[in-house]
Amino acid sequence: MIAKKKSTSTESDNGTFIISRVFDAPREAVFQAYTESERLEKWWGAKGFTTNVKRLDFRPDGIFHYRMLTPDGHEMYGKFVYRNIVAPEQLVFISTFADEKGNPIRAPFSATWPMEILNTTTYSEDDGQTTVTIRSVPVNATEEERKTFESMFDSMQQGYGETLDRLADYLTHA
């Protein structure tokens, strides 16, 4: 399988971050890469990051708790709480930065980053190619937190772009 390296990002009027990528892989294979610890550890995170899955309970109300090690040795944790899973079409989850035990914490880079982000990832297949579209929007956020979120779209474009590049590489070698 080969995945295209092109990604696009747009922002809507309501402050939603959107990024899409087309992969030359069947939808089931792309979706499966999001559902298993062994697979996630091979591609989740920006370039140079190492991810270790602490816990993955892939079901509605289940969690994905992970540790990421940055290229310079900084450690941080994240957590998803799955809201809805429609295999292989859609994942809906709340993401937060977390501590080692999985408790939500403030982002290490900003005191005004929203505590919770609602993410909707859709997978659509056309003639053997799968388009992954990620839509992210803050929930329960203050106006200042929403502004911080929107001010970080370029950084998010880079981070998600590198993560999707890693997914493309993973799918090529899977």
- pLDDT, averaged per 10 consecutive residues of the chain (174 residues), comes to 50 81 96 97 95 98 97 95 98 98 96 98 96 96 97 94 96 92
Write down the pTM of the prediction: 0.92
Residue for token pair 């270790």: 52
Sign of CA dihedral 62, 104, 39, 172: positive
Domains of the chain by residue range: 2-173
Q: Where are the alpha helices (DSSP H) in the chain?
A: 27-33, 37-43, 143-151, 153-173
2-173 folds as Alpha-D-Glucose-1,6-Bisphosphate; Chain A, domain 4 (3.30.530)
